Structures are given as structure tokens and as C-alpha cells.
Amino acid sequence: MAKRAILTVLATTGAAVFAVAGTAHADVPVLYVNNDVAANCSDGGSGTQAQPFCTLAAGVAAVSAGQTLLVGGAFNEHVTISRSGTSGNPITIKGDRTPGHPIGRLQGGPDVGFTIDGQHDIVISDISVINATTGPGYAVSNSARITLQGLRVQTAAAAAIPAITLKGVTASTLSGVIAGGSKSTVGIALDAATSGVRIERARAAGGMAPGSRGIEILGSGNSVISTDVQANAIGIAVGAGAADNVIANNNVFGNTDAGIDSTGARGTAITNNTVQDNCVAGIRVAGPSTGVSVQNNDMINNLGWLNSQYCTNSGGAEFAISGGAVGSTVIDYNNVYHGGAPGSPDAYLWNGTAMGLPAFRTASGQGAHDRETAYTADREDAANSAAPGWQSTDHDGNPREDNPGLANTGAGPVPYSDRGAFEIVRRPQAAVALRADQAASTVTADASGTIPGYLPITSYSFDFGDGTPAASQASAVASHHYAKPGTYTVTVTATDSHGYTGSNTAGVSVWPAVRTIALLGRENNAGFVSGGTSGYDALTVNGTAAALFDVVDPGNGHVALRSRVNGQYVHVRGSSQYLAADGLVTDETAMFDLVTNADAGVSLRSVFTLGYVSGNSGNGRILAADRTAVGPWEQFGVVDQAGANVTLHAHANGRFVTADNGGNSPLIANRTATGQWETFDLVDAGNGYVGLYSHANGRFVTAENGGNAALIANRTTIGAWEKFKIVKNADGSTALQASVNGKYVTADNGGNSPLIANRTAVGAWESFDR
């Protein structure tokens, strides 16, 4: 392999010259530079990833056409690139953005920066120059097809120098570049011999130094597109002798002189810019400027209306046209708002005379379609798409979009283009409602509530948050089965026929129930905890029927309660601390500690408030997690799902047991149908015993007189006389054994007498179906 010729590169040590002579590296697509202490670098090596070059100069000396130099680390160097790529095979020098790698940058000395002179087909990406002091961070001259992208050039705080200079440069691009400094003279400077350069999606921000320019163009056939320019003296300056430059879709604001200035230039197209809060003028066209077009711009509060803190100049206007530009400049389809009611005398400065829009039309014959308005809607569907320099997309890359509800008042082939840099886009407003089938671990996402934008929705994409591929479909409803329990975020994205999208998310927890229960208040015949209906109703402890809750274990040592009424989890609602079944997600507000009391009841302690849930927190016995200790109001009886809403069908006579006379008479098996008096709940009483809670009157059944008297529902709490054991019989029926005397409950006299616990064995009269 032939030896590479010696290449000299200016290094960081003053006039010292760094020389690299070595074998060519054209047989590898990527070379590496990394000066990290752990990188094992060597300037005498081959530039592999295992042994990268230590200095950027060494890497630049080795890279050739078609290769990429991947750069990681900070380098105190000034690098001169003295070789070129070829058309279709450029030299690419790129900052390494691999996660965990140091990002490539030049920083640390007064002379840091890049020089490219007399070269072509070079791409430099993501390599910033920080605190350049003695010269531009990037100085490009006599070169063609140079691309600078995704990089930042920041001049030192006291350095009155340009950030980026292009001299004699052609057919080149600056994309996503940030340039400027507090004392910089120019952010990006294009000299008179520079042409065919496109600056796009860049940012030029200075420190408002007197005489500074964000972007200066002295050549011809260049363009500044979709760029932000702020905090300079003049934002964008097109100078004398320049011709046929395009200034379009830019956001120009907060400059101390003019936002956009074209002085002595020919054929400048100033189109679809948003120009706001500049101190002297929004757009100024002066001197022997000819053939200038100023159209589709949105002019807002220039002449220092909102910037009095740094605006010291006076005079000017939203539009200032003077000198040879008068009578040669086309001004139309602009919006103007100048800090007050329409008709502001400072909106236009025409050949030295300030005037409002009506006077301007009379004096100039221009502005026939200009508008004085502060309303965003007034610039919609109102631009001239035939204006010189008009772009098919806006500042943010959005295509032009028609508002079907608004008449098109623009001109040209796309009469619905908007004025200013930003197209008004109405995207779909995605909505997502979730329904969970917890038993099947399935969630259904419904996006049918999505509001379209200007165009019809063509597809919906559903990402169910568990790593499975997102599904795209025409239908607004999709169901998904979760393989594992957990909490997931479901994202729905709606896409319209123009490709605009809108997304929304909702959370859902999918956990199997470890137990399903109802909760019965223990204090003063409080009743059952309600299950919630709308999801925003506070839970109360005054229900007459058992509302069921699934107890789920999220695996964090706590439990959550999911209402069977609406399928949502019980949460503590913020500072009010009351409980509501209003959420699909088990976050901290839905977590409780289930504390078992001595009588087999439970208390609930909120993880969110650290307070115990109480049923004595307001009118209607609202549940709130606001108590520091457990008392009667903080205790709840537990009814398992199988023990809720139970009826007892006596084998003795085939009749149902009733708490007769609304519970005021003893229990007797004499009903042929069931109703409220015939319904009971089995409340856990501990050690295998239950209490029979009657729906007839909300009282517990007792084996009265120690079992020597008939059963009757007249007790408010469970004691020894109110405990019964459910005994499973061989035929599948059940028997009730009283705790107080160990005897079985019988439907005495073949069911014709009240129930009494006085049998020592189980027969037909002692058997009941539940």
C-alpha cells in the first residue's frame, strides 16, 4: 500500500506544526478520534475504535474521500482541513453521539476552531466550537459543497469576532447550526463572493452588541430558511451589491435595530417571516434596493413596544421603506399589529413619512391585501403562494394545510397558505378511554372520542405499553391481552390524511383478584361500603346491600381495592382525603395496608395519607383516610363474595328463611320467594365463624338467651351469641352451628316453628341450601 504524503495541520501550541506521516486508511469506512483517558489513544496508530487517534488533527490528516471520522472528546486545537472528498463520496467528520461517549468539540484555547480553504465535498456534523477568541469557530473559504450541520459555535464572552464565516463559498449548506456570542460581530457571515449557500433551521443569537448582525449576506443566490434570529443589532442583514437572496420562514425577534434589513440589495425575497419585538423596524428596505418582494410576513409589535428594557433607539416602523426602494418594492399579503388599535400611524414608514395602512395604500399603491390585525386566525389561509421565495412547508417543516371551515383569501397555486413563519395546523386531538376485563387480563382501548383536525382521520395506532408492537388500524377500538400482571401506559395515536398526528395516554393496572369482599361498617349499624358509580362519587358506609371489591396484590406489600360496580380502583382524592372508585391505575393513592382486627374485622390504612379510613368523616358517612388511630368507625366487617346476598332454603319444608316482620319477629322458614327480609350476608367473625347480617333491618342474627330462645335479627354487633359456623353436609347442603352452645339451628316442627339452635345432630330440619 502506498504511503500517504505528509500533511501539515496547525496545532494548539502557537506556531507549532503537527505532522502526520503514515499508511493510508482508505480501506476502512470509519476512523476514530477519542482522547478520553480510558480510550487507549495513539496518534501513531491506525485510528481504529480499539486504538483511536488522540488528536483531531491526526484524524483529519488520515481521513479521505468516502470515509467518516468519528470524534469523541474535547480538543484544544485549531484544525485546518487540507483535503477534499469527491462528489457522492465526501469526507465526513462527525461528533460521536453514542450514549456514554464524550461528544466531540473544540474547546479550551484561544485559537480553537476549523479552517477549510480551497476544498470541496466535506461534511462536518455535531462538532461544536466553544469559546473561540481570536477568530471564527468555522472559517470556510474558496470551497464548494461544504455541509455544516447540527453544531454550535460560541465565541468567547469578550471576543468581538464572527462565529462562522464563508468567503468565496458556493453550493453549500448550514443546517441546524447555532452561532453567536455575547460580543460577536456576526453569527454567520457570507461575503460578496459567496453564492448558492442555504442556511436552514439554524439559530443566530448574539448579545445585542452594537452593529452586530445575526446573519449577514453580501453575496447572491443564497437563502435563509426556517431559522431563528434574536438578540443582535440587526437580525438578518442583506448588504449592498447582494442579489436574488431569499429570506423565508424565519422567526426574527428581540433585535435592537431592525429584524430584517435589505440595504442596496437587488431582488431580495422577504417572504413568510414572523418578525416581532425588534427595536427600530421590523423589515427595513433602504438605499438603492430594487426588485425587493416583502410578502406574507407577520409583523408584531416592532419599534420596541415590548422591549423597552433594551430598546434605546427611536424611529422606525413595522415596515420602513426608503431611498431607491420606494416605488420598486412589492409589499402585499402581510399582517401588521403595532401595539394598539388598527390604524397605528407607525405601522408603515414610507419614504420618511409614518402612516397607517389606509394612508400607505394611497401613498404607495402597495399593501392591497395587507391586514392590520392581532388575531392569529386573520393570517390563516391568506398568503400569496406565488410570492418569490415561498416555501411549501413552514418554519417547523409542516406542509401547508387548508382550514375547511375558513374561506381561502390567499393567492397563487396554494391559496390556503398562511402568513408568517408558522402554518396554523389543527392536528387530531386523540382521546382514549379504557375498559378492563380483569378476569381475562384484557384491556379495551376506545379512541372513538378523538376530535379530527382539519382532515379526516385515516388510522389509529395502539401501543399497550408492554413491549408488544403497536398495532395500526382503521378502527378506533382495540383490545389487548396482557401476559403478565402490572401497571401499563396505553398510548393511542390518531393520524389524519395529511400525516398529522395526535396522541394521548391512559394508565391501567391489570391484577388478578386474590379475594373479593364487601365491607360492613361496625359502628352503630353503619351499613355496607358503597362501590361508587360515576367514579367521582365519594364512597360511603351506609349501603343496605353488599357492594363487592376485588382485593389485589400489586407485589409491594400493600393491597388495592377494585370496585366491582365500575371496575375502577379506589383512590384517596388529594387533600380532601375522601375515597372514590375513580381510577384505572394503582398508584400510591390507591395503596392501602389491610390491618386485621381482633374480631376478624379489618381496618384500612392509606399509604398516601398514612391515615386510617373512617366512616365518620361527614354527612352521609363519607369514607376518608384521615384518622390517626383505629376506633369503631375505622373497623369494617368482611364479607367474602360467596357469603354476600345469601338466602337459606330449608329442607324441612322447601321454604325460605325470613327475618319476619322486618326483623322484629324471630326467623322462620315460611316464604316461597325471596326479598329483602329473606337475604343475609355472612360476615367473617374469625376462627371459622360468621355473623348473619340481615337485610331486613341491618342487624345481626342472635341465638337468643344463649341458644334457648328462637333466632332473631336484633343485634348491632357480633358477640358469642351471634357467631355461627357453616358446616358442609354430605349432600352439599349446609348446617348452621351456634357458637354459644355448639348446637345446630333447626327449622323446628317441620318449619312451622321459628328457627332455634337446639339440635345436637344434623337432619333434614337442620339442612339448608344457600
pLDDT, tens digit, 9 for 90 and up, residues 178-196: 999 999 999 999 999 999 9
Per-residue b or e along 676-714, where b marks 16 or more CB atoms closer than 10 Å to that residue's CB: ebbbbbbbbbeeebbbbbbbbbbbbbbbbeebebbbbbb
Nearest alpha-carbon partner for 218 in 256, 175, 162: 162
Cβ atoms of 368 and 395 within 8 Å: the answer is no
Q: Rounded distance, CA 224 to CA 216, Å?
A: 10
Per-residue pLDDT tens over the stretch 665-689: 999 999 999 999 999 999 999 999 9
Q: Rounded distance, CA 735 to CA 727, Å?
A: 5
**The CATH number of the domain covering residues in 513-639:** 2.80.10.50
| pLDDT, average across residues 700-705 | 96
Question: Per this entry, what is the length of the chain?
Answer: 770
* DSSP sequence for 675-688: -GGG-EEEEEEETT
- Write down the residue that cell numbers 453564492 correspond to: 195
pLDDT band at 3 (very low <50, low <70, confident <90, very high): very low
Instruction: Say if pTM beats, i.e. exceeds, 0.95.
Output: no
Cβ atoms of 117 and 80 within 8 Å: the answer is yes
Q: Where do the DSSP E strands lie in 607-647? A: 612-614, 624-627, 636-640
pLDDT band at 745 (very low <50, low <70, confident <90, very high): very high
The radius of gyration computed from the CA coordinates of the chain, to the nearest angstrom, equals 41
DSSP category for residue 417: P
C-alpha cell belonging to residue 544: 343496605
- HSE-up (13 A, CA, CB side) for residue 605: 13
**The CATH number of the domain covering residues in 433-496:** 2.60.40
Cβ atoms of 734 and 720 within 8 Å: the answer is no
Cβ atoms of 550 and 594 within 8 Å: the answer is no
Q: Rounded distance, CA 226 to CA 303, Å?
A: 23
Per-residue pLDDT tens over the stretch 357-391: 999 999 999 999 999 988 889 999 999 999 999 99
Q: Residue 18: what pLDDT?
A: 33
Q: Rounded distance, CA 78 to CA 107, Å?
A: 10
Bridge partner residues of 220 (DSSP):
195, 243
Cβ atoms of 297 and 270 within 8 Å: the answer is yes
Contacts of 469 (CB under 8 A, 6+ apart): none
* DSSP sequence for 704-715: TGGGTS-EEEEE
| pLDDT, average across residues 628-645 | 92
pLDDT band at 768 (very low <50, low <70, confident <90, very high): very high
Nearest alpha-carbon partner for 725 in 689, 693, 691: 689
Per-residue pLDDT tens over the stretch 323-369: 999 989 999 999 998 765 454 567 899 999 989 899 999 999 999 99
Per-residue pLDDT tens over the stretch 648-666: 999 999 999 999 999 999 9
Per-residue pLDDT tens over the stretch 244-287: 999 999 999 999 999 999 999 999 999 999 999 998 899 999 99
In this predicted structure, the answer to whether residue 693 has a pLDDT above a threshold of 80 is yes
According to DSSP, the β-strands at 486-496 and 501-510 are antiparallel
Q: Residue 284: what pLDDT?
A: 96
Q: Rounded distance, CA 492 to CA 471, Å?
A: 10
Cα–Cα separations (whole angstroms), residue 656 to 134, 648, 677: 101, 6, 10
All CATH 2.80.10.50 domain ranges of the chain, comma separated, are: 513-639, 645-769
What letter represents residue 747's amino acid?
A
What letter represents residue 377's amino acid?
A
| pLDDT, average across residues 54-70 | 96
Q: Residue 314: what pLDDT?
A: 56
Q: Rounded distance, CA 651 to CA 766, Å?
A: 8
C-alpha cell belonging to residue 433: 378511554
C-alpha cell belonging to residue 29: 469506512
| pLDDT, average across residues 11-29 | 44
Average pLDDT along the chain? 91
In this predicted structure, the answer to whether residue 107 has a pLDDT above a threshold of 80 is yes
Q: Rounded distance, CA 309 to CA 512, Å?
A: 62
DSSP category for residue 418: P
Nearest alpha-carbon partner for 114 in 21, 5, 123, 145: 123
* DSSP sequence for 496-530: ETTS-EEEEEEEEEE--EEEEEEEEE-SSS-EEEP
In this predicted structure, the answer to whether residue 11 has a pLDDT above a threshold of 60 is no
CATH of the structural domain 645-769, one choice from 2.80.10.50, 3.40.30.10, 1.10.1060.10, 1.10.10.10: 2.80.10.50
Q: Residue 78: what pLDDT?
A: 96
- Write down the residue that cell numbers 360492613 correspond to: 520
Q: Residue 5: what pLDDT?
A: 30
Cβ atoms of 165 and 142 within 8 Å: the answer is no
Q: Residue 17: what pLDDT?
A: 33
What letter represents residue 296's amino acid?
N
Q: Residue 305: what pLDDT?
A: 55
In this predicted structure, the answer to whether residue 522 has a pLDDT above a threshold of 80 is no
C-alpha cell belonging to residue 51: 486504538
| pLDDT, average across residues 161-168 | 97
Cβ atoms of 273 and 284 within 8 Å: the answer is no
All CATH 2.60.40 domain ranges of the chain, comma separated, are: 433-496
577: left (phi over 0), alpha (psi -120 to 50) or beta: left
Q: Residue 459: what pLDDT?
A: 97
Q: Residue 543: what pLDDT?
A: 80
C-alpha cell belonging to residue 421: 413563519
Q: Rounded distance, CA 296 to CA 584, Å?
A: 49
Cβ atoms of 200 and 175 within 8 Å: the answer is yes
In this predicted structure, the answer to whether residue 716 has a pLDDT above a threshold of 70 is yes
Q: Rounded distance, CA 113 to CA 124, Å?
A: 12
Nearest alpha-carbon partner for 128 in 193, 57, 196, 177: 177
Cα–Cα separations (whole angstroms), residue 355 to 275, 320, 344: 19, 10, 7
Distance of CA 330 to the CA centre of its chain: 43
Element (H, E) at 492: strand 486-496
